[in-house]
Amino acid sequence: MKQTKIAIVGYGQMGREIERQARRRGYEVTDIFDSNYPLDTSKSYSFDVAIEFTEPTQTVDNIKKLADMGKNIVVGTTGWLHEKEGVEKYITDSGTGLVWASNFSIGMQVFFRLVSRLSSIIDYEEAYDIFTHEFHHKRKKDSPGGTALSIGDRILKEVTRKHEIVTDSLQRMIEPEELHVTSTRGGEIAGTHMVIADSKADTVELTHRAKNRTGFASGSLVAADWIDGRKGFFEFGDALDRKWGLT
């Protein structure tokens, strides 16, 4: 079986963890791109798939450069999805492949599906209100993060009485149709996400706690193997649904 050759775009804590995991598992890491060694569309590179974990302000430009090179891409950066439609067209027009996720942890992907199932049941039980909260380390720049917003979107798809995500700290009563998606930033928390369904009688909680960055790195390598040789624009969950027989 052909081993995917990997490039890493962004060499922060996530990039370093991806490198550790990749080398430990026998992947060839051909290039590591950062501010000192930027992507150069005039050069020829041997990697099959680039794994991009940078900053939201850099991501779309990186995607376009990689697509122009004919390279497939895994995108783990969050905060760029307001440009998703244009990026999808760029990937399609370039004939390359891209897989993205707000969270590449396999455990979080399981959590997403549990949230959807819980929400579909809560839709029948109006005694329960549902909301979500997340915790991340003090350096995370988006708040709420992309994972929290993805959780919120999954709740909205299932709970028909909720129509709108509200992320602000409210100085008023929340409206019944509003879904509160809130966040806390501090310390060194790798990532904790909670979904709570609460009634006068009891509380149902789902919680996912990332212990470190290992799960995100491992999932991004699974995604790299999956997108290698494929064309099109995909969400990581699509690949896992096929793997798990859910489609």
Model confidence at 78, in pLDDT bands (50, 70, 90)? Answer: confident
Whole-angstrom Cα distance, residue 229 to residue 36?
29
pTM for the complete prediction? Answer: 0.84
Count of other CB atoms within 10 angstroms of residue 94? 18
Domains by residue range for the chain, with CATH? 5-104+213-243 (3.40.50.720), 106-209 (3.30.360.10)
Return the bridge partners of 206, or none: 195
Is 140 assigned a catalytic role? yes
- Has 163 been annotated as catalytic? no
Q: State the chain's mean pLDDT as an integer.
A: 94
Alpha-carbon distance 129 to 106, whole Å?
Answer: 27
For 30-58, write each residue's pLDDT tens digit. Answer: 999 999 999 999 999 999 999 999 999 99
| Per annotation, catalytic residue among 133, 136, 162, 208 | 136
Question: What separation in angstroms does the CA of 73 have from each of 24, 44, 231?
Answer: 21, 16, 10
Counting Cα atoms < 13 Å in the Cβ hemisphere of 126 gives 4
* DSSP category for residue 102: S
Q: Residue 66: pLDDT band by 50, 70, 90 thresholds?
A: very high
